[in-house]
Amino acid sequence: MAQRIEMYDTTLRDGAQGPGVKFSSDDQLQVVRALDALGIMYIEGGQPGSNPKAVELFERARDMDLKQAKMAAFGSTRNPKSAVEDDLNIKALLSAQTEIVTIFAKSSPTHAEEVLRVSLDENLKLVEESVAYLKSEGRRVFLDAEHFFDGYFEDAEYALSVLECGWKAGAEVLILCETNGGRLPHEVAEATRAVRARLGDALIGAHTHNDSGCAVANSLAAVQEGATHVQGTINGYGERTGNVDLCTVIPNLQLKMGYDVITAEQLQLVTHTAHLVAELANMTPRDHSPFTGRDAFTHKGGMHADAVRKKKTSYEHIDPELIGNRTHIAVSEVSGRSSLMQKATEFGITLDRDKPETKEILKQVKELESKGYEFEGADASLELIMRKATGSYQSFFTTQAFHTHINYSGDGAPMLSEATVKLELPNGDILHTVSEGDGPVDALNKALRKSLEPIYPELCEVHLEDYKVRILDAQLATQARTRVLIESSDKDMSWDTVGVSENIISASYRALVDSIEYKLSRSRG
């Protein structure tokens, strides 16, 4: 059987310290459920002595029916000025009532003497007493050796003695922390080998940061040298450049190195978990993330797309479905007919490679992208182009005219935006509608809906989820072209549309119309 590597997640503690990452109390519980479903063995809930939200999480988590994961409380060794049984941090750790308690200790002489400001012997005493006391209170204790790798290359004997002290006092796992994120894989491997030689039977863990871009490589190096416990966060969230990304470590360990980490069914949840946690953290999913990113298995070049169509492994290092992702063909100015045909297949459209409409679609896409359109992130607009070119599109309305008006009174009152749209239906009826909104785009959106929802009530289900604006040629100043991307959704799906113009209102209107046309083509086409 493959060797088991256990995953320890610290998204709700270390990850939450990352810039821009925010979790509400309810968000935290959703993260815990997602991590449990993913097969994470330990979930660090934070420092119960540091803030009320952490205390609340541990209280609410006690009532959760977790299938596998165990919650862990996190804190420091006792304060040098306190007896261990009277130490407020130790008491807070015990009050969390978790089976697992993780405490961090200084393993670098510099940090012990100049940051904690204790002697090296006193630092060892803090480790020994804290671990032993928590053990005596019935807790399983994990020891995070903070700055271990820096400490090892500063004074190997002392860094190892900190681990040995914690192990003898009863620590179950000794975690080697690459806290500053500056060490390279060969250094991590060397130090981990030394730990294994010194403490042969001890369980060793790795906790790495990504300041030198080596967090994943450093964790894998530690595992190769005997670590069986890996700490990290979902999406690599964390302070500075972040922690090691468990969504990258897990598939590498399991699919590339043959370790037993989670089940095959749980592995298929990796991409979903990455995107869910990003949403809960109020962060945009990283399209370029290995394994889980939208672009991780995206093929833009025509030759690449054609090769992947013939043999997936030609440009994909794994089957993306193993981790819940999928192959994505991006049609763009560098695409060929193979890309176009494969994309059409995704949309349920049949294209003949040599038919005129296939060549016309490709020509149209390339011309539009030369003007600033971007279809890699706007599949719905691309599908509409294909359906119109192949005759499989039904027209639901056409725009005769639209205009917007902004009223500024100059007295500090909110500006009022008004939009008028004039639409023609297939039966020849004219709809002439006026609406107000918070801005001109909002007013246009409301005017379109006011006109069309009585005729097409399914549009009431559509919500605008995101609105992005990019200036394409900033050197032209106020004459620059603008690209607008709009994300829309209903109860079943989401879709993206694009519009480009020197006029931001016109670009926005084009993307709005595509969004509505796409919904109608899906529901009535």
Identify the residue with better confidence: 152 or 304: 152
pLDDT band at 523 (very low <50, low <70, confident <90, very high): confident
Asked if residue 211 lies in contact with residue 240, where contact means CB atoms within 8 angstroms, the answer is yes
Residue 333 has pLDDT above 60, yes or no: no
Q: How far is it, in rounded angstroms, from Cα 109 to Cα 179?
A: 15
Coil, strand or helix: which one is 356? helix
The segment with the largest mean pLDDT, out of 62-71, 271-280, 476-485, is 62-71
**Residue 100: phi, psi to the nearest 5?**
-105, 135
Residue 40 pLDDT exceeds 90: yes
CB neighbours of 21 closer than 8 A, spacing ≥ 6? 15, 237, 281, 282, 283
Name the CATH topology of 6-280: TIM Barrel (3.20.20)
CA distance 260 to 254: 6
418, 407 contact by CB (below 8 A): yes
pLDDT of residue 424: 94
Looking at residue 4, its pLDDT comes to 94
Q: In the structure encoding, which two tokens stand for residue 265, read together?
A: 């069914």
CB atoms within 10 A of CB 465: 12
Every domain of the chain and the residues it spans: 6-280, 298-370, 398-524
CATH of domain 398-524: 3.30.160.270
Question: 183-200 burial, b if ≥16 CB within 10 A, otherwise e?
Answer: bbbebbbbbbeebeeebe
Tens-digit pLDDT profile for residues 265-298 = 999 999 989 988 987 887 878 889 999 998 898 8
Q: Which amino acid is at 224?
A: Q
What integer pLDDT is reported at residue 43 of this predicted model? 97
Q: Parallel, antiparallel, or unpaired for β 140-146 and 463-471?
A: unpaired
| Residue ranges of E strands in 425-509 | 430-437, 463-471, 482-489, 494-501
- pLDDT tens digit string along 120-158? 999 999 999 999 999 999 999 999 999 999 999 999 999
CB atoms within 10 A of CB 449: 19
186 band by pLDDT with thresholds 50, 70 and 90: very high
- For residue 339, the model assigns a pLDDT of 67
pLDDT of 221 strictly over 80? yes
How far, in Å, CA of 315 to CA of 290, rounded? 14
Contact (CB, 8 A) for 10 and 231: yes
